[in-house]
Copies of this chain bind each other. A is one copy, B any other.
Amino acid sequence: MRNDLAPAVRFLPVASALPSLKDNTADLDRLKRALSPGLGGRPLLVPWVRMAVVAERFRACGFTGIAVVHDLPYGCELVDFLGQAPRLVAGLALDLGTTHLEASLFDLSTGIVLAQGHVANPQSEHGADILSRIHFAAKGQGLVLLRQEVIAAINGLTVELAARAGIMAEEIWAMAVAGNTTMTHFFLGLSPYHLCREPYIPQANNPDPCLAAELGLMLHPAARVWVLPGVGSYFGGDLVAGILATDLDQAEQTSMLIDVGTNAEVVIGNRDWLIACAGAAGPALEGGVARMGMRAGPGAIEHVAIDPASGFLSYTTIDHEPPRGICGSGIIDLVAGLYLARLIDSRGRFRPRAMADRLVAGPDGPAFLVAPASETAGQEPVLLGQVDLDALMRSKAAMYAILTTLMNQVGLGFAQLARIYVAGAFGRHIDPRQAVVIGMLPDLPLTTYTPAGNSSLAGARRLLLDGAVRARCQAVVRKITYLELNVNQEFMERFSGCRFIPHTDHHLFPSVPHFGQD
């Protein structure tokens, strides 16, 4: 077991003197006395519900064995006593997403992942987007229902992962949850009412570790649940986890983290400062807006190439399955290809004469044929309509406007960024060059862009594994400055300038061909 990392649950060997008439200390006090020198003066508590079981097991083990202690922010909590070190001590990290819950079950002593998986968020039934769920929560028992649904889904996922890892859910001693602020409110049963109303105030950003049993979670009865703290209504624990996972707060050089989910959330900073903002740039990229849009999963058109000379189009799908739709990275590739082949103009408008037989009648008017019905899984063509194109233009404009507004706040240029981490499925699938072509991401050397994977999950896992990360987590939320874009005039102005490909000011994108307007 690696003790250097100080996991959130510690298994401390104890060999106590036997009780005698000369040393008649009570069982629990004896155990506390044995543990106390190793705790560096921190208080050691025993919650009432665990008193009897700890005292009984300590005695049954002959006053020698392993004490199980939670390492909490305000002290240590003694919750169990075992005859010998368990074969495995599991922790669970959860990325509490709006559309999906993704969890990773891992060995708390080594960090090795035992099983990983995801389920759809059942709350989607009450609204695909966050805003409609916030409205649903305000009606009758809406909030209670939303909480119950997500807890049930987490329990289902937990049991499934535990079974795959060959353990019981009761062998999971700690859990860390990283979600956006709204999802975190649903998880904790807090009212999200003011999250979407100016001045956008959460009920709580930084909960103390909770009792899993109290929350209704099926883990060890004494397990604790760490909720990653957020910074604001649009900047949640998922992004704080991302900062921890990428060590953004530790580096000497300034870097950026971009997380595109329901919102685009962006942080820049280094070991001295952190600044963040968030804005609605995501839907078109996450499959929420484009008619044929879908989340990056099997059958999603992931990459598209269009030969600028011939107009010949080729695509690849995830897992090489027949196309079911197109995900964010595919749409970005497609629009970049359409622009370079001059099938759309710099305002993102179809140029029908150039489109030839790719121009078809879509349900909302003219559309570009990405994949004919004969090639798709559903025998329906995959189309990109002008409506979809408009949505992407808004998303990409919002993204670039967010990035420039934020950089401007700290008086830095993009060239001063050592690294740009791109989190999530978006980061895994997009081709940064194509995002540069459409003017979504700044025109930097492509090596600047680094996929960060599911950094919410990775950050949540690290929180449980390492006491230093738990301390950093609190330092991050104290240090971070959150820039509210919802009311930011500069952002609004920049947004308008971004609604061209690649940009109104094409000097910002020297590597991208400039065709002028038709």
A208 touches B47 (CB 8 A): yes
Could you say how many copies of this chain the assembly holds? 2
A24-B482, A46-B207, A484-B21 known; A52-B191 Cβ under 8 A: yes
A27 touches B208 (CB 8 A): no
Nearest Cβ on chain B to A38's Cβ, whole angstroms: 17
A73-B43, A74-B74, A74-B75 known; A51-B20 Cβ under 8 A: no
Pick the residue among B24, B52, B74, B230 that contacts A232 (CB under 8 A).
Answer: B24
Binds B, one of A209-217, A357-365, A440-448: A209-217
Pick the residue among B29, B188, B191, B233 that contacts A56 (CB under 8 A).
Answer: B191
By a CB distance below 8 angstroms, the chain B residues around A194 are 59
A28 touches B204 (CB 8 A): yes
* A214 nearest CB neighbor, chain B only: B48
B21 touches A215 (CB 8 A): no
Interface residues of chain A: helix, strand, loop or mixed (majority): loop
By a CB distance below 8 angstroms, the chain B residues around A484 are 21, 24
Binds B, one of A82-90, A195-203, A404-412, A452-460: A195-203
By a CB distance below 8 angstroms, the chain B residues around A215 are 48
Pick the residue among B73, B205, B214 that contacts A25 (CB under 8 A).
Answer: B205
Which residues of chain A in 310-340 are interfacial with respect to chain B, using CB atoms and an 8 Å cutoff? none
A52 touches B19 (CB 8 A): no
By a CB distance below 8 angstroms, the chain B residues around A74 are 43, 45, 74-75
A29-B205, A74-B43 known; A199-B24 Cβ under 8 A: yes
B21 touches A190 (CB 8 A): no
Give A106-149 as 1s and 0s: 1 = Cβ < 8 Å from B's Cβ atoms: 00000000000000000000000000000000000000000000
**6 closest A-B pairs by CB:** A26-B205, A26-B202, A43-B74, A55-B203, A28-B204, A48-B210
